[in-house]
Amino acid sequence: MSNPDQIAPFLEIVENYRASNADAAASQFGEFLAKSFEALSKSTGDVRSVRGRATRNQNTYLTWDHMDVYFATSMRKAWEYKDLFDFIDSLMTSPDLTELDVRYFDPTQAYTDNRINKGLVEALMLKRARCTVYSV
């Protein structure tokens, strides 16, 4: 009834459920799946909303005629995004910088789903910015 490539993930879901709910009935598994699909559907909507906002932010960055600071990074894990966001937010909202009205690119608030476009945006930001802060 399913694609052969889907069998292994299905079996893994069933095995994980059985391992943590050994004495559950089949009907309880159905309820678990329904709740899981509902949560996944909500998460999918949240992801679409956040990506839409981040895409609009990136488009705004691309329209700027100049940029003071480009924060460059190679984020891979969730904690790296959070740490960089916290750093940029605390730095750029400090009283010493807010009065300067610094225009900056925050990579934690931008999104493109294409790695080639991402590289082109990075190259443009490097060329356009007066200062680059690289976070590793």
Each residue of 74-101: pLDDT tens digit? 888 989 999 999 999 999 999 999 989 9
Q: Which amino acid is at 9?
A: P
Q: Mind listing the pLDDT tens digit for each residue in 1-47? A: 567 777 888 788 888 888 888 888 888 888 888 888 888 889 999 99
Distance, in Å, from the CA atom of 31 to the CA atom of 34, rounded to the nearest integer, reads 5
> What is the token pair recorded at 102?
């610094």
Q: At what angle do helices 26-63 and 115-128 cross, to 10 degrees?
A: 30
| Nearest-angstrom CA–CA distance, 37 and 4 | 21
Give yes or no for a contact between 68 and 125, defined as CB atoms under 8 angstroms apart. no
Compute the C-alpha angle 76/65/128, nearest 5°: 50
Q: Which long-range contacts (CB under 8 A, 24 or more apart) does 119-128 make?
A: 121/58, 121/61, 121/62, 122/72, 124/62, 125/61, 125/67, 125/70, 125/72, 126/70, 126/72, 128/64, 128/66, 128/67, 128/70
pLDDT, residue 73, reads: 86
